[in-house]
Structure 1
Amino acid sequence: MPSRDDISTDDLRLLLALARTGKLVAAAAIVGIDHTTVRRRLRRLESSLGVTLIEHGSDGWVLTELGRVVVERSNRLEDVVHDVRAAVQGVEGTVRGTVRIAAPDGFGASLACSAIAEVVREHPGITVELVTSTRPLSPRAAGYDLSVSIGEPRQGWLASELLTRYELGLYTSHDYLRRHGPLRSTADLANHRLVFYVDSHLAVAELDLARSFAGMGVGFASTSVHAQLAATRDGAGIGLLPSFLAEPEPELRRVLPAEVRFVLAYSLSLRRDSPAPDAVELIRTALHRHVAGHQRELLPLA
């Protein structure tokens, strides 16, 4: 059995790569070795320390409680490497690092992208990886430094805070209304078809809103809100859409705004042991600044 004093700093950097990505293959790509070697060397690290650092979860590899402690202490290795490179390149003091972000596809592909682009323009030493999904992030998930999720803030390993509130309303195309006639009350909705999420794939409880329109059949369902937006624009039915996506569309019109308005929250969660805390803070600040400047689109009826 290896001595507990025989701890390889290279093995610690492999643990940092796995904590960042949550996947052996992705971690191997970062460090330039094959994934079987990564797993073997992480087993060696666990043996050297005499503890279990990682375990397999539903979304990939996750850190154990002790694994998180080791990663938090090991982040200093990344700082040393960045400082050495910066000194050699003559760019000391610049913010550097890779930040991985998870966000719902609607928010991620619109508001988040604009905020992220602002940061990477001003800080070329920062690399951002954006993963879009409407699935809720596991409280023990590894691999993300920042996560935007639908719902109120929740505390845990990811420090969570309210990012913004936003509303959903009913929208349809001008052509659809010309063909089907005006909607004067919610009773009229029974004669129309809804465009919304695929019910069996809906993992976010806050979006379980279709039951509010029990009299409507579903005309088009998709796991992508951008597909819902396109289908509504093309006349597939009446879409229940985020206002910040639907309002800028000239071909869409909001219907029954006084009767149908849902207000949800976007929460922002930060990983406490992120290897790039300065870069994370820049992106966090940019996200807050960006949503503050788009409140009219996020909450048009407020």
Structure 2
Amino acid sequence: MDAQWDDLKIFLAVARRESLSGAGRVLKIDPATVGRRIARLEAAYGAPLFAKSPTGYALTDAGQRLMGHAVRVEQAIEDAAEEMMGKTGGLSGQIRIGAPDGSANFLLPQVLEKISDDNPDLDIQLVALPRVFNLTRREADMVVAVSPPNAGRLTVQKVADYKLHLAASRKYLEKYPPINTLADLSGHRIVGYIPDMIFDKELDYLSETGVERVNLASNSVSVQINWVRQGSGIGIVHDFAIPWTQGIEKILTDEISLTRSFYLVRHADDRRLERLNRFAAALVEGMRHEVARLEALT
């Protein structure tokens, strides 16, 4: 028996929210009804689609296989609606992007605002998390990453290089001993990542400075930048974030200048979806322009 689209919508909601109650809130239906519809879908396919785990509902192998098909159906329906309603000039529906919190806080808001201005019928969701996103589980439609993944059915596009430097607030530099060489850092308070929570090797900035101790550590770039901004210590800061923070200046630029890259990662099956292709093109163009604009201000 072919699954009806309504059942597939419920399946997608449970897969993305990992719970019946979470899916019910999104769909505005009772969790018990969600459970019954999932049971009906599993009976139709003759296989369990979810396994109950301590963290919620996890996709089984059969569920993983259905996920890709369900997403393509979802995107095809949205594409058809745009075309039939005469909205081919602009995007509509909902698109979710996952990104590390540094780019999510200081780079993507203005890029996505421009895309929203150009596509008033489009709902954009930006999920900022200091971890790797799982596109196989469809946690997002696409992800901005700081290193290209080496596993999974994914497509990867390099977006742009970006710069990072040691930085401190003018208040801090006036209060503490001068910093003329990397060796001088040993007498200063250092801000950085919690070492065992660095989720990507490209974020291990301080290893290139020779610093062994991080006095103030957080898994959030935004927290780190706030510590630097308020004069709590010295840290590695994205150049594109500096124009958004008052009183921060780069230091030791001749000794430490880091280059990293952003990549746009998508599920391989989405290459055929014109709607997501158009959004991805606008996102890449906007990010390249904004990185260049902000870095030119530092």
Q: Would the alpha carbon gap of residues 59 and 265 (structure 1) be closer, same or farther in structure 2, given more than 3 Å must change?
A: farther
Secondary structure in structure 2 of the residue aligned to 1:130: strand
| Equivalent pair of 2:107/2:291 in contact (CA under 8 Å) | no
How does 1:63-212 map onto structure 2 within 5 Å?
63-64=59-60, 66-74=62-70, 75-76=72-73, 79-80=76-77, 83=80, 91=86, 93=88, 95-138=91-134, 140-212=136-208
Q: Given the alignment of the two structures, is residue 221 of structure 1 paired with residue 217 of structure 2, yes or no?
A: yes
- Between 1:115-124 and 1:148-157, the stretch displaced more is 148-157
Q: Would the alpha carbon gap of residues 65 and 167 (structure 1) be closer, same or farther in structure 2, given more than 3 Å must change?
A: farther
Aligned to 2:41: 45
Distance, in Å, in 2 between the alignment partners of 1:19 and 1:164 is 32
Report the alpha carbon displacement of residue 83 of structure 1 after superposing the two structures with TM: 4.7
Report the alpha carbon displacement of residue 147 of structure 1 after superposing the two structures with TM: 1.0
What TM-score do you get using the length of structure 2 for normalisation? 0.83
What TM-score do you get using the length of structure 1 for normalisation? 0.82
Deviations 1:258-278 (A, max 9, x none): 211222222211134569944
Identity of aligned residues (%): 27
| Equivalent pair of 2:135/2:266 in contact (CA under 8 Å) | no
Q: Would the alpha carbon gap of residues 214 and 78 (structure 1) be closer, same or farther in structure 2, given more than 3 Å must change?
A: closer
Report the alpha carbon displacement of residue 114 of structure 1 after superposing the two structures with TM: 1.7
- Between 1:222-231 and 1:269-278, the stretch displaced more is 269-278
Deviations 1:36-88 (A, max 9, x none): 4323322321221123434467976554554354344444366447756986x
Deviations 1:243-291 (A, max 9, x none): 1112554511111112112222222111345699444323311221122
- Between 1:99-108 and 1:263-272, the stretch displaced more is 263-272
What code does the residue aligned with 2:152 have? G
Distance, in Å, in 2 between the alignment partners of 1:275 and 1:64 is 25
Secondary structure in structure 2 of the residue aligned to 1:164: strand
What value does the CA root-mean-square deviation take over the aligned residues?
Answer: 3.2
What code does the residue aligned with 2:66 have? V
* Structure 2 unaligned blocks of 5 or more: none
Aligned to 1:234: 230
* Structure 1 unaligned blocks of 5 or more: none
Q: Given the alignment of the two structures, is residue 30 of structure 1 paired with residue 30 of structure 2, yes or no?
A: no
How does 1:15-26 map onto structure 2 within 5 Å?
15-26=11-22
Aligned to 1:289: 285
- Between 1:99-108 and 1:260-269, the stretch displaced more is 260-269
Secondary structure in structure 1 of the residue aligned to 2:107: helix
What code does the residue aligned with 1:252 have? I
Distance, in Å, in 2 between the alignment partners of 1:283 and 1:106 is 21
Q: Would the alpha carbon gap of residues 169 and 92 (structure 1) be closer, same or farther in structure 2, given more than 3 Å must change?
A: closer
- Between 1:46-55 and 1:66-75, the stretch displaced more is 66-75
| Equivalent pair of 1:63/1:142 in contact (CA under 8 Å) | no
Secondary structure in structure 2 of the residue aligned to 1:293: helix
Distance, in Å, in 1 between the alignment partners of 2:141 and 2:53 is 18
